[in-house]
Amino acid sequence: MGSSNEKRGKGCWCWLFIILIAAAVVAAAVITIKNKNDKSHPKAPPVPGPPGAITQKYADALKAATQFFNVQKCIVCIVYFRFWAEWRCDFIIAAGKLVNNKIPWRGDSALKDGSEEDVDMSKGMYDAGDNMKFNFPMAFTATVLSWTILEYGDQMDVVKQLEPAQDSLKWITDYLINSHPSENVLYIQVGDPEADHKCWQKPESMTEARPVTQVNTSSPGTEVAAETAAALASASLVFKKINSTYSDLLLKHAGQLFTFANTYRRSYSVSIPKVQTYYNSTGYGDELLWAASWLYHATEDMSYLKFVTGKDGKQFGNFGNPTWFSWDNKLAGAQVLLSRVNFFGQEERSNDEKLGLQMYRKTAEAVMCGLLPDSPSATSSRTDGGLIWVSEWNALQHPVAAAFLAIVYSDYMLTSQTASIYCSGKTYTAADLRNFAKSQADYVLGDNPMKMSYLVGYGDKYPEYVHHRGASIPADAKTGCKGFEWLESTEPNPNVAVGALVGGPFQNETYIDSRNNSMQGEPTTYNSAIIVGLLSGLLTTSSVVRSFT
């Protein structure tokens, strides 16, 4: 469907069909043998579909979604059969120098970012439809992408999306490392958002000054430093068996950044008031718990577990009060992540730690109860079509993020053989959580009143006027800063931003496909991270690993 359709050479269909069938049989046999031989995981009861069977629509959607942040290069896919070979290049929005770029509408950009401060900030991701780099949401993107790979890397690998995801993650973490030139200095933004939003131009055409912004001991930024620590700690686990030297470097920076964030506690929104316009923070306690949780998983250092279960956990945990998971509030994510410790490693903890972990798990369970549509404590904040509704701007962010947490929690239940959760006296199973997650994913992919996919490049109908500078301007156009004729054009975007998850519908479930409609039509990199996480979890039903290390 959509971008996943592929042209195949004539005359090979019989052979190709036979080979595909044989490959499927071999793959199924390998998976079966692997499951039978894996004695470290208890056998969890299956939910709909046999374990190991890939749901093709989610695989197709994932192949589209990963393209939006595969930033550094054209992805070359080699499919090799006896009588047939095919090369396929996928493309995406990128910051920095593109390697092996074969996409005509993209080229090198922002190569001098950070040069005025003698730091190399040429990598990283543009935030959305603009040409800004905002490190706070970008680091969240990396953390969620790492979490996805750690939980669902095997499934992603089956559909050949693991390596692209790892490449995209490293493109961000390389940038984040460079953004941290010394222990108590972190660069957190590239570009002037006021100037940037007065321009409509391709990133390749930028000539304006791109100032960098930093936090330090005199102007701290606890949440952005802690989120960056979370990103680098989680990524260190992803790369631990791939590149141990790089993993160690990531972990070193993560530890330093957590110390910086924790020692100099002040919101970056207070230290640098200008950030309030775009990515204002509502508090830093959630990021401290989130970062400490990831550092505990990465290091098994008990000081991080004591941090989240001790006085800081009590101060910032907001136990018993469900929250929405987003780039600004990581509490629900931390609660689910720490539930993993409660599910799989509880016996090794002290009584105080067990009690603290139990509070995280109980609150995570309350989050789940709020999501299940027929739960007594279900949120009433939904559209008539069943989509979780929280915000008019970027409406899909919260339901997709909530569904990602639900699928992760359901898999923790399966692996631990936890039969049910309790919601005000009613019981619900892992299958119930999975069905909720599927409902949100299916809505995004076209099962909605508009009968359109909100994931660009997937399905037969998706937004054509995405609010995105690079996608809206022809590759050979010479616009300079003032290319507003392309913003105002009534023609669809000349370039398809495959994998972009747009903001989504209004509460009445309508969508206005207009390039000027940034409320509904602007994609973000963190939207891509959460939809990749959700789709990866829905690919198949299987146990998750009991430990990331």
pLDDT in tens, 366-382: 999 999 999 999 999 99
Is the model more confident about 109 or about 432? 432
Kindly state the percentage of the chain with pLDDT values over 70.
83
What pLDDT sits at residue 3? 36
Per-residue pLDDT tens digits for 381-396: 999 999 999 999 999 9
Closest CA to 149 of 62, 52, 246, 78: 62
Annotated active-site residue 467? The verdict is yes
Rounded to an integer, the average pLDDT of 216-240 is 98
pLDDT, tens digit (0-9, with 9 covering 90-100), for 169-189: 999 999 999 999 999 999 999
Within 10 angstroms of residue 54's Cβ, the number of other Cβ atoms is: 15
Q: Which residue has the tokens 């439809």?
A: 129
What letter would DSSP give residue 481?
Answer: T
d(CA 258, CA 256): 5
Q: What are the structural domains, with CATH classification, of the chain?
A: 2-538 (1.50.10.10)
CA 265 from chain center: how many Å? 27
Give residues with Cβ within 8 angstroms of 217, minimum separation 6.
Answer: 184, 264
Q: What angle do CA 155, 161, 167 make, to 5 degrees?
A: 125
CA distance 24 to 240: 30
User: What residues does 281 pair with on adjacent strands?
Assistant: none
Task: Give the dihedral of Cα atoms 333, 336, 337, 342; nearest 10 deg.
Answer: 160
Pick the catalytic residue from 180, 297, 398, 467: 467
* 305 vs 89, more confident: 305
**CA–CA distance, 274 with 268 (Å, rounded to integer):** 10
How many Å is the Cα radius of gyration of the chain?
Answer: 23
Q: What is the pTM of this model?
A: 0.86
Confidence label for 18 from pLDDT (cuts 50, 70 and 90): very low
CB 484 within 8 A of CB 200: yes
Of 115, 117, 122, 95, which is closest to residue 106 (Cα–Cα)? 95
Mean pLDDT of all residues in 515-542:
96
What is the band of 99 on the pLDDT scale with cuts at 50, 70, 90?
low
Q: What is the pLDDT of residue 397?
A: 98
Q: Tell me what pLDDT residue 430 has.
A: 97
The CA–CA distances, whole Å, from 31 to 34, 35, 542 equal 5, 6, 11
Given this model, what pLDDT does residue 81 score?
A: 28
Over the chain, what is the mean pLDDT? 86
Tokens of residue 123, six digits: 């990598």
pLDDT at 48: 38
Residue 456 backbone phi and psi in degrees, to 5: -60, 130
C-alpha span between 229 and 294 (Å, rounded): 8
Distance CA 129, CA 200 (A): 10
The sheet with strand 186-190 has its strands ordered as 133-134, 186-190, 212-215
Please count the residues of the chain.
Answer: 549
Tokens of 520: 């509904």
CA dihedral 312, 316, 317, 320 (to 10 degrees): 140
The tokens for 460 are 């037969």
Q: Which of 451, 461, 445 is nearest to 56 (CA)?
A: 445
Structure tokens at 229: 């620590």
pLDDT digits (tens, 9 = 90+) for 28-70: 443 333 333 333 333 334 343 344 789 999 999 999 999 997 5
pLDDT at 462 over 80: yes
- The token pair at 220 is 């701290």
Distances (CA, A) of 191 to 124, 196, 213: 13, 7, 8
